[in-house]
Structure 1
């Protein structure tokens, strides 16, 4: 399978301009999103099914007062990976790595994110 039609500029815009609707447009209707962090550990990740559940998370994150930056993105052979850095106004930083599978038309079908936060 060759490279797909994934819209990396939409990913950058959605992340850096905090546009949940733009990010949601990158997911397939039946997508699954798994998140792993200190609270949702690997044996019990947070799992969201479908665009409605994913929209809830994306909207909540995009409403937070913080900056987001797409550090890097790689697309190819039906897969996508990206790294995002975030910072809250108080200086708390978050780093997230995402890895996912894509449909032939470039929509995310499954995606797993691992994130780490600064802790006091």
Structure 2
């Protein structure tokens, strides 16, 4: 499950993406956009990962995304994303 909080999805009603196919579609949509993505400050532990992604659209708009994820048996089981 991925839970996203951003300007369109405030904390009281976050975007929740569940299931392998839905998460795949969400990721494909995100990474197919005309923008650059740079992962910075990753922190990896046995059962967790945290990172920040800095994104930039061609018009100069910047987006920063903070992500934490729980890992079990080598797979992400829960992810939280806050982007501004």
**TM-score computed with the length of structure 2 as normaliser:** 0.95
Q: Secondary structure at the match of 2:4?
A: strand
Q: Secondary structure at the match of 1:57?
A: helix
Q: Deviations over 1:48-77 (max 9, x none)?
A: 111101111111111111100001211114
Segments of structure 2 that go 5 or more residues without pairing to the other structure are none
Is residue 90 from structure 1 mapped to residue 63 from structure 2 by the alignment? no
Matched with 1:22 is none
Segments of structure 1 that go 5 or more residues without pairing to the other structure are 1-31
Q: Deviations over 1:74-97 (max 9, x none)?
A: 111411111000000000000000
CA distance in 2, matches of 1:77, 1:70: 19
Matched with 1:63 is 32
Q: Which has the larger share of strand?
A: 2
Runs of 4+ more than 3 Å apart: none
The Cα shift of 1:106 comes to: 2.2
CA distance in 1, matches of 2:69, 2:32: 24
**TM-score computed with the length of structure 1 as normaliser:** 0.67
Pair member with larger Rg: 1
Is residue 112 from structure 1 mapped to residue 80 from structure 2 by the alignment? yes
